[in-house]
Structure 1
């Protein structure tokens, strides 16, 4: 069964990466949610996709140059707030697993420490998380720090490169853009021991085609279409 993964919550229905969007994803019966993290100026991990706040909020500036207090004064899509990763994990509370994408530089160490804390103190399991990134160096830091954390190699360019990096990093999964997938390279990934989680698939014809492939999950803005 191909798993339903909500992209930034349920981005097609509600403002991305907000608690309300994650609630919508849970209401739609997702197996997992995908989210993005940056380290802000005061050191906290915040759940936000872009490197600047300009597109999604009523503010301007780079996420890593703004403190959490400053970020919390901003409105996402006119009515929501930017959550921390702690707030999102406490909100999800193991109702599904979580794909944490390391977006900004320097996210590996604080993300690793936080996930370790949730496993150690809050009853979460390492299987409740996949940490993904396009940035090999961030994944390498996670791997070196704690090899128990499941890694996912993101790619928009090459399944072959993702498989190569995956082997080097002992990753659990590859996360290719759906346009890169063929029946053959999906089989190759499985034969090499990887799970395949593909993104961002919103159109019904693409969903139906990919559901025929040997993949594990589809990341969609509209998880109710899966």
Structure 2
């Protein structure tokens, strides 16, 4: 039903464009991922004080730019002047979607004020069929689903993932939102295993793909693929490509 997932599995996701290189969520990072052959990019969105959706992970600028300030408190004009190594530090979501029309973006909306601007940018770019909306917050995801409508794929929030894991252990059915197409989960959380063979099989019975984040160890990638996961998100793009190539999966993402 959702063109976003219409690609050979397992999918290969460039997490934040490939954060292991040193930069993340920048045009340069995305271009490196694309040139390496990735066709799925995981990214993050905040909104500025004047409602511009920007591609950025943290609430504040400090870690990535060395500048003070919260993204939500600043105007786009303020962020547009920031540079890292001479290049623009923070892209706009609409410009990012327009720049790579062949790429499918997994968009984690990090704050409530980013929901409406992100959906509007997707709509303006005509990108509904090549994005998946994600969030840790179930309430934010519910808002995103209402705004985006039935054509945009979504994943599950933390509460829903917890219920999904419990239902896999108890072998119980679980009602899912109609646009939820994937459980995007870590291997473990709070010391507990999330992804095992039973969890993967249960998700598949419910019609969900399983995408695992953030995996940089080749041995762990191999183990997860043996469990039957449908996609892996990584910061180490060459490592994931090498594992996929060794198993005959590359390009395993529609490239």
TM-score (norm 1): 0.89
1:152 match: 155
1:42 match: 50
1:112 match: 119
Q: 1:16 to 1:111 in 2, by over 3 A?
A: same
Of residues 184, 206, 216, the one that matches 1:192 is 206
TM-fit CA distance, 1:78: 6.8
Of residues 217, 223, 229, the one that matches 1:215 is 229
Size of the alignment, in residue pairs? 218
Equivalent positions of 1:88-107 (< 5 A) are 88-94=96-102, 96-107=103-114
Runs of 4+ in 1 over 6 A off after TM superposition: none
TM-fit CA distance, 1:75: 2.5
TM-score (norm 2): 0.79
2:90 match: 82
TM-fit CA distance, 1:77: 6.3
2:17 match: 9
CA deviation vs aligned residue, 1:141-197 (integer Å, no higher than 9, x gap): 122231221001254x88443578x84422111111123210110110011111111
SS at 1:82's partner residue?
A: coil
CA deviation vs aligned residue, 1:181-220 (integer Å, no higher than 9, x gap): 1011011001111111110000111111111122211000
2:141 match: 139
Query: What do you get for the CA RMSD once the two structures are aligned?
Result: 2.0
CA–CA separation in structure 2 for the residues paired with 1:14 and 1:91: 22
SS at 2:13's partner residue?
A: strand
CA–CA separation in structure 1 for the residues paired with 2:157 and 2:228: 18
CA–CA separation in structure 2 for the residues paired with 1:89 and 1:173: 21
Structure 1 segments unaligned to the other structure (5+ residues)? none
Structure 2 segments unaligned to the other structure (5+ residues)? 1-8, 168-173, 189-193, 241-255
1:172 match: 181
SS at 1:56's partner residue?
A: helix
Bigger radius of gyration among the two: 2
CA–CA separation in structure 1 for the residues paired with 2:211 and 2:23: 23
Q: 1:36 to 1:147 in 2, by over 3 A?
A: same
